[in-house]
Chains A and B, each alone.
Chain A
Amino acid sequence: MKKYFNTFVKTFFFTSLPMILLALIIYRRLNINLGYIRITLGTILISIFISIAISVFKSDKGKGYINAILGYIIIIPALFVFRYIFGTYVFKTVWLIYILIAVIGIIYGIALLVASKKYKSEVNELNRLLIDKDDNHLEE
């Protein structure tokens, strides 16, 4: 629980910055005040979803690829909350949310692939060191 709370606090911090920025942009350009409570509650909800996604992704239990897929699925409701907060001020057409879901999915997939390659090379290095160590012992 403590670990999840720490993740939530960090996520809330990083989520609230763009949310406040976007609300300010809408206020400046369209002269519409979205309301601080609406933005805050929305940010809290989005942070909860993202923190759960991070916790599931990082979980030691279960298979890694299933955790990765679940992590992405859990993020999707956060995007719908985001749409609810900013409505047609940001999402001018209905399809924009689905495009956003797809874009987030692509970015998530690329990030996963890059991280996975990095971890694989680390593991390969450790396996090589293990083999070298065994070979050295046999030679001696």
Chain B
Amino acid sequence: MIVRVNENPKIKDIEVVINCKERDKFILEIEKSLTYLNKVITGKIDGRNFTLTPNQIFYFDSIDNKVFAYTKDKVYDVNLKLYQLEDIFLKTPLIRINKNTILNTKKIKSFRSSFNGKMEAILKNNEAVIISRKYVPILREILGGKRK
């Protein structure tokens, strides 16, 4: 793969063009990664606004009609609904895993199940989030498996 960067002060917007022979799995991964990097949202803590990139976000959780973004060690108030975040992060590793949560699949360390069939994703900061069975096929697909 050849990576070329064309630096020009006259250019206003970054444009990434991928020249390829075939739009295969690898190219789709590059597209997904670029889409992932391209998104930013605003989060608030104590009235102060912060810009959050998807790479910082572990998951979004909706509690009492309020949405919060969880990073490694902070929680931000996000002024968007879960369905709006789902649209913004379409075709990225951030997917809905239950009625109230959108998870960044890049932050998953492992999975575990409990005796009553509950499935949990253990994140890289050792937090656990519950995965609803309804979203397991999509999660499997994102991780590179086949949708059953």
Contact = CB atoms under 8 A, between A and B. Distances in A.
A136 B145 CA distance: 14
Contacts of B143: 126, 129-130, 133
The main secondary structure of chain A at its interface with chain B is helix
Contact of B113 (A60, A112, A122, A136): A122
The main secondary structure of chain B at its interface with chain A is mixed
A123 interface: yes
Given A60-B130, A125-B145, A130-B143, A112 B115 contact: yes
Contacts, number: 58
A29 interface: no
Contacts of A116: 113, 115, 117
Interface residues of A, number: 24
Given A125-B140, A125-B145, A130 B119 contact: no
A119 B145 contact: no
A122 B110 contact: no
Interface in B118-148: 118-119, 130, 136, 139-140, 143-145
B116 A123 contact: no
Q: How many interface residues does chain B have, given as a range?
A: 10 to 19
A67 B117 CA distance: 11
Given A67-B115, A122-B119, A129-B144, 5 more contacts: A60-B118, A64-B115, A65-B116, A116-B117, A119-B117
Closest 8 CB pairs of A and B: A64-B114, A64-B115, A129-B143, A65-B115, A64-B116, A119-B113, A123-B113, A126-B111
Interface of A: 57-58, 60, 63-65, 67-68, 71, 112, 115-116, 119-120, 122-123, 125-127, 129-130, 132-133, 136
Interface of B: 108, 110-119, 130, 136, 139-140, 143-145
